[in-house]
Amino acid sequence: MTADKPLRADARRNREALIARARELFDSGDFFDLRFDDFAALAGVGVGTLYRHFPTREALAEAVYHHEVATLCDRARHLRATLPADEALATFLRGMVDHIDAHEGLARTLATLMATGSGALAEGSRALEQAVTDLVAAAVAGGAVRDDVGAGAVMMALHGIGAAHDRPDWRAEADGVITLVLDGLRRPR
Amino acid sequence: MTADKPLRADARRNREALIARARELFDSGDFFDLRFDDFAALAGVGVGTLYRHFPTREALAEAVYHHEVATLCDRARHLRATLPADEALATFLRGMVDHIDAHEGLARTLATLMATGSGALAEGSRALEQAVTDLVAAAVAGGAVRDDVGAGAVMMALHGIGAAHDRPDWRAEADGVITLVLDGLRRPR
Amino acid sequence: MTADKPLRADARRNREALIARARELFDSGDFFDLRFDDFAALAGVGVGTLYRHFPTREALAEAVYHHEVATLCDRARHLRATLPADEALATFLRGMVDHIDAHEGLARTLATLMATGSGALAEGSRALEQAVTDLVAAAVAGGAVRDDVGAGAVMMALHGIGAAHDRPDWRAEADGVITLVLDGLRRPR
Amino acid sequence: MTADKPLRADARRNREALIARARELFDSGDFFDLRFDDFAALAGVGVGTLYRHFPTREALAEAVYHHEVATLCDRARHLRATLPADEALATFLRGMVDHIDAHEGLARTLATLMATGSGALAEGSRALEQAVTDLVAAAVAGGAVRDDVGAGAVMMALHGIGAAHDRPDWRAEADGVITLVLDGLRRPR
DNA sequence: TATGAATGAGTATTCATTCAT
DNA sequence: TATGAATGAATACTCATTCAT
């Protein structure tokens, strides 16, 4: 959307180093425990540079989140194009659990960020939600899924999965949630 | 567990004022935005007194949470004693949505607290979870509900409902989640 | 005006230490070159205490200024009560030069503060101006001084004297300004 | 003094843009509130370029001040050549008030700069002071003005006029100061 | 036991200056 | 020579916690 004006070589280098480092910290869950100063140092740039590129913690979070969301949306599109609607939905949701599982801290971080109410992630959130909405809509159109429960409920369930990532039995429970959601959706009223 | 040794009259008064004030702030969602100083002032006591009664923010949170959870657990017990198992579960879950709806900030605050990983609420959490587990177990025993998805998944779904309280269409979506969970549970595999 | 509610013993001690130290720094002219942290340390209190008593540099400046101004106003009143009006005015103005001379840094500091436009000194400024106005008015009433040039002009001249305190030949020039002002006032038009 | 070695066309353009912009900011009084970065941007050049031309804020201030002072000195010379000595002095001082009035912020800025003690403006100050000294000396020589109060006092008074520019009744008071100074000078002792 | 003043480590943020492009 | 990205020292200010009253 925003025309990416070409950055100076060093500027691009720094920006990328910052995002890369941030992603690691997201994954390890240390993103919020870190002082801004130290984060800059870890990424090998001065604080000033960090501020120039990302004026707030959220701005940085968004840059990372953006990648994630884009990947997930692509996947949703792909599934929708290649599988029957209800299978596409199921596969996507199961995949989401895998994804969250693989990016332990990311889930926690995003949950925190959302609990904070940070509007910075709004765009990404909307994109992801749109993908889910499309998957559900296709399944509804195909007749495999009830139409009286919207995609919003599915998002909420996913939210719960992400937010509760520290539960000892997380993986099994997360799968359980998905099972309930999918089976619940299949029982039309 | 902890034997409540009798407090001096004024000590009790202060303690209660603190809890009452805290509950209000939980509900309004301002619990975390407040400086410790200011919180004490709002409750009409000095900071020192606040510290004497509740050495940490979480200790205070727990005192409030304790009431909430006790109430909810009682309700669960009551429902289990007076209704058929599956109806008891359904009624309880629908009631949870009402409860969260009525205590807007509380949900958000608890979500934050949980995202923070504060272990202080562990006891309360376990109690609540036990209540849900019992309800589910009863329904499973009654044959109305599948046995391959545990109560943990239900907790997770509830968690999502609480954590996503700022969604514009929250109420409808929360009802949707409960519908999916209940219908999902009813479809045994 | 503001009812001085009695301070706790240590609070009073700290407050007074801060003002005393500040006055020294005013006089030495270092008031503005000093970090807030260091100032607190010099006064032997923590930064927090400094902030509690004087939330801004200006608030502190005002506390010092207040003393000064009160002294000067008293002097003006005394002179007006004991000397013929024109002599009272002359004596006061000459005395102002002495005063500024004796408090080298103070003059510079006040000039800076005024150049900054800090409104914090407004009250003190007004009080001082009122004293000058009264002196001039009395002299006018006594017929010794013209009535077509107000006390504001005299204030401005004093301001110039204070603001230019770094001129090498300051004392002689300041006396010159006062001479011009007094002689100018005596020549009615 | 410094031989103006010919600048490259674009260098000259930049230099002039910087001075022009600086003069505006002087007049509007924002000269000191502005970050160096922003100033450069406003002038349409990079910071680096700003630094090349004016290594310090004061250097830039001086460049602007230089113009002002030159103009004023020319005027003083012209008046001295065309009017009787005492009239020349009076006209010059009244004109100074007009000038300061017309360049609102400039007065404040210069006052600040002087309060700061910046020596960078020394040369300009001396030039201006010389002009006043010459005017006074001529008037003294003509017998219209006393000889026991130097031009320094007049400078001080002017300083007060400039430094107090934010007084609500500035114009009237400034005129009053000039009146006192002129009448005071006319009464020889 | 209650109070609230004192404390000062902790952290975010700015902005003058340099230097790679 | 012009540019503006990078740098990081400098500093203000907050707020959890302690402790004198």
* Number of neighbours of residue B77 by Cβ within 10 angstroms: 14
Name every residue whose Cβ is closer than 8 Å to that of residue B76 and which is 6 or more positions away in sequence.
B88, B92, B131, B132, B134, B135
Structure tokens at B92: 């309880």
pLDDT at C163 (0 to 100): 82
Closest partner residue to A152 (CB to CB) among B111, B149, B167 is B167
Range name among B65-69, C20-24, D154-158, D167-171 with the lowest pLDDT average: B65-69
CATH topology of domain A58-186: Tetracycline Repressor; domain 2 (1.10.357)
State which nucleotides on strand E lie below 7 Å from a protein beta carbon. 1-21
- pLDDT confidence band for B43 (50 / 70 / 90): very high
Question: Strand F: which nucleotides have any atom within 7 A of a protein Cβ?
Answer: 1-9, 11-21
φ and ψ at residue D116, rounded to 5 degrees: -65, -20
Q: What is the secondary structure of A82-148 as a DSSP string?
A: HS-HHHHHHHHHHHHHHHHHHTHHHHHHHHHHHHTT-GGGHHHHHHHHHHHHHHHHHHHHTTSS-SS
Distance in Å from E1's C1' to B28's CA comes to 31
Q: Coil, strand or helix: which one is D140?
A: helix
| Res. C98: pLDDT tops 80 | yes
Average pLDDT estimate for C88-95:
96
Q: A170 beta carbon < 7 A from strand E? A: no
| pLDDT(B134) > 60 | yes
Nearest-CA residue of chain C relative to D158? C160
CA of A49: nearest nucleotide by C1' is F6
**Chains contacting D (3 or more CB pairs within 8 Å):** C
- Does at least one atom of strand E sit less than 7 Å from the CB of C46? yes
Token digits of residue D64: 């602007």
How many beta-carbon contacts under 8 Å exist across C and D?
Answer: 131
- Dist. CA A142–CA A85, nearest whole Å: 7
* Higher pLDDT among residues D3 and C79, named by residue: C79
Residue B152 and residue A166: Cβ atoms within 8 Å?
A: no
- Contact partners, residue D138, CB within 8 Å, separation at least 6: D80, D85, D88, D89
- What average pLDDT does the segment A54-58 reach? 88
Q: Where are the domains of chain A?
A: 1-55, 58-186
Distance from C-alpha of B111 to C-alpha of B104, rounded to nearest angstrom: 11
Q: Could you give the percent of chain D with pLDDT greater than 90?
A: 49
C-beta of residue A64 within 8 angstroms of C-beta of residue A25:
no
Contact call for A and D: 3+ CB–CB distances under 8 Å:
no
The nucleotide whose C1' lies nearest the CA of B38 is F15
What is the reported pTM?
0.81
CATH 3.40.50.2000 fits C63-186, yes or no: no
Residue B81 has a pLDDT of 95
- Contact residues, chain A, for B157 at CB < 8 Å: 156-157, 160, 177, 180
Side chain identity, residue C112: T
Nucleotide F21, nearest residue via CA and C1':
C8
- Whether residue C7 has pLDDT greater than 80: no
Highest mean pLDDT among A64-73, D52-61, D140-149: D140-149
Q: What's the DSSP call for residue C120? A: G
B47 sits in the region (left: phi over 0; alpha: psi -120 to 50; else beta) called alpha
Averaged over D112-118, what is the pLDDT?
Answer: 56
Q: Which of A79-93, B111-125, D11-25 has the lowest average pLDDT?
A: B111-125
pLDDT digits (tens, 9 = 90+) for C28-39: 878 878 889 999
Which nucleotide lies nearest residue D37, CA to C1'? E15
Confidence of residue C2 (pLDDT cuts 50, 70, 90): very low
pLDDT confidence of residue B118: 56
Question: Is the Cα dihedral A44, A47, A48, A54 positive or negative?
Answer: positive
**Subunit contact D149:C180, Cβ cutoff 8 A:** yes
Residue of D nearest to C126 (CA): D167
pLDDT at B153 (0 to 100): 95
The answer to whether the C-beta of A84 is closer than 7 A to strand E is: no
Give the CA B47 to C1' F17 distance in Å.
Answer: 10
Q: Which of residues 51-70 of B touch strand E (CB under 7 A)?
A: 51-52
Whether B47 CB is under 7 Å from strand E = yes
The chain C residue lying nearest D30, using CA atoms, is C116
Do A and B touch, 3+ Cβ pairs within 8 Å? The answer is: yes
Query: What was the pLDDT predicted at A90?
Result: 97
Question: Is C21's CB less than 7 Å from nucleic acid strand E?
Answer: no
Q: Do domains A1-55 and A58-186 have the same CATH topology?
A: no
Gap from A42 CA to F9 C1', in Å?
Answer: 18
* Nearest amino-acid residue to F15, taking CA and C1': B35
Q: Which residues of A have a CB under 8 Å from any CB of B?
A: 108, 111-112, 114-115, 117, 148-150, 152-161, 163-164, 166-167, 169, 172-174, 176-177, 179-187, 189
* Average pLDDT rounded to a whole number, residues D127-154: 93
Question: What's the half-sphere exposure (Cβ side, CA atoms, 13 Å) at A17?
Answer: 16
pLDDT confidence tier of residue C1, bands split at 50, 70 and 90: very low
For the ranges A49-63, A121-135, B70-84, D120-134, the maximum mean pLDDT occurs at B70-84
Closest residue by Cα to the C1' atom of nucleotide F20?
Answer: C10
Find the Å distance, CA of residue C98 to C1' of nucleotide F17.
Answer: 49
pLDDT digits (tens, 9 = 90+) for D37-90: 999 999 999 999 999 999 988 888 888 888 888 888 999 999 999 999 999 999
Length D51 CA → E17 C1' (Å): 9
Domain D1-55 of CATH type 3.40.50.720:
no
Q: Tokens standing for D168? A: 């609500």
Q: Which among C128, C148, C6 is positioned nearest to C75, based on CA atoms?
A: C128
Beta-carbon separation of D150 and C173 below 8 A: yes
